[in-house]
């Protein structure tokens, strides 16, 4: 039992666990829509697009979180603006913004002689360095994400399954899309300190994708995704403590492993159901 509870008797590990729990809830709210709408590439691009703001904040001695928020706002505005151009596909616009922001970040980093350590934390996270003020900020971010999710649920749902119907119902799909991008940016900014920008998709996408085969509603996916994220956080911190591995990477890797286990179990359940009922899915020639 000591093996299971011992690491969490240490104060900084407790803070890391609470930080991971809050981030898991935020990522569940935003990540569910990312999975349902197939926006993984956008999430990846936005996470890497934080680099210029974080690098500038570090260079000027400012708050890294504020710099990340500014970069996220630029990315959100850019994706929204480019998405309104009919002759330019959304993927093309996202790709160009991704490369442009990343290049700008590298240029800023090259001007700094002392950013190497901060850059490592930015890319791979530093969950064990979570402070009490970080927990307060994450708590505020969770409340904001929850409010946006509740108020925008109907519009997000229509946007995910039938944007044309959303327009017919007067739900303003363009505005809903912009707000959804803001929710995604909030989740990424909240998460980069925990698992880093290279691994943020582990908590943003893996838990909702793992929950998808088992939940019967969008809200069910969010709740189950949050629980899976918390499980990955607890298990990842525990394994990293005993195996002396990078905590953020272990959390992210465990989240991805839970995704594969979930879909493996779902496939086994489906085969057993087919075997017991004798009903096979229809096939096309």
| Structural domain includes residue 72 | yes
| Structural domain includes residue 278 | no
Q: What is the CATH number of the domain that holds 143?
A: 1.10.3470.10
| Structural domain includes residue 33 | yes
* Total structural domains within the chain: 1
Structural domain for 59, as ranges: 1-272
Q: Who has greater pLDDT, 209 or 3? A: 209
Name the band, by pLDDT with cuts 50, 70 and 90, for residue 113: low
| Structural domain includes residue 279 | no
Could you report the per-residue pLDDT of 239-254, keeping only the tens digit for each? 999 998 888 889 989 9
| Structural domain includes residue 285 | no
- What HEC string does the chain produce? CHHHHHHHHCHHHHHHHHHHHHHHHHHHHHHHHHHHHCCHHHHHHHHHCCHHHHHHHHHHCCCHHHHHHHHHHHHHHHHHHHHCCCCCCHHHHHHHHHHHHHHHHHHHHHCCCCCHHHHHHHHHCCHHHCCHHHHHHHHHHHHHHHHHHHHCHHHHHHHHHCHHHHHHCCCCHHHHHHHHHHHHHHHHHHHHHHHCCCCHHHHHCHHHHHHCCCCCCHHHHHHHHHHHHHHHHHHHHHHHHHHCCCHHHHHHHHHHHHHHHHHHHHHHHHHHHHHHHCCCCCCCC
| Structural domain includes residue 138 | yes
| Structural domain includes residue 277 | no
What is the reported pTM?
0.84
Mean pLDDT, range 53-74, rounded to an integer: 80
Name the band, by pLDDT with cuts 50, 70 and 90, for residue 283: very low
| Structural domain includes residue 161 | yes
């Amino acid at each position: 039992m000591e093996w299971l509870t011992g690491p969490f008797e240490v104060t900084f590990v407790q803070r890391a666990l609470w930080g991971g729990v809050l981030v898991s809830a935020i990522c569940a709210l935003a990540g569910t829509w990312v999975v349902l709408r197939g926006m993984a590439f956008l999430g990846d691009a936005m996470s890497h697009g934080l680099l210029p703001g974080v690098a500038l904040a570090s260079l000027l001695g400012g708050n890294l979180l504020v710099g990340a928020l500014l970069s996220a706002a630029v990315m959100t505005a850019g994706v929204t603006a480019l998405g309104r151009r009919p002759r330019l596909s959304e993927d093309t616009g996202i790709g160009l913004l991704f490369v442009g922001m990343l290049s700008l970040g590298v240029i800023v980093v090259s001007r700094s002689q002392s950013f190497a350590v901060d850059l490592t934390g930015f890319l791979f996270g530093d969950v064990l360095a979570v402070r009490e003020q970080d927990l307060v900020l994450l708590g505020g971010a969770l409340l904001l994400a929850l409010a946006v999710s509740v108020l925008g649920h109907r519009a997000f749902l229509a946007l995910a399954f039938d944007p044309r119907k959303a327009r017919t119902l007067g739900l303003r799909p363009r505005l809903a899309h912009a707000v959804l991008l803001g929710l995604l940016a909030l989740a990424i900014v909240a998460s980069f300190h925990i698992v880093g920008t290279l691994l943020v998709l582990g908590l943003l996408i893996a838990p909702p994708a793992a929950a998808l085969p088992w939940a019967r509603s969008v809200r069910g996916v969010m709740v189950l995704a949050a629980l899976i994220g918390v499980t990955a956080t607890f298990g990842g911190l525990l394994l990293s403590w005993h195996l002396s591995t990078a905590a953020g990477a272990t959390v992210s890797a465990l989240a991805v492993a839970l995704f594969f286990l979930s879909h493996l179990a779902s496939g086994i359940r489906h085969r057993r159901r087919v075997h017991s009922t004798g009903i096979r899915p229809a096939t096309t020639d």
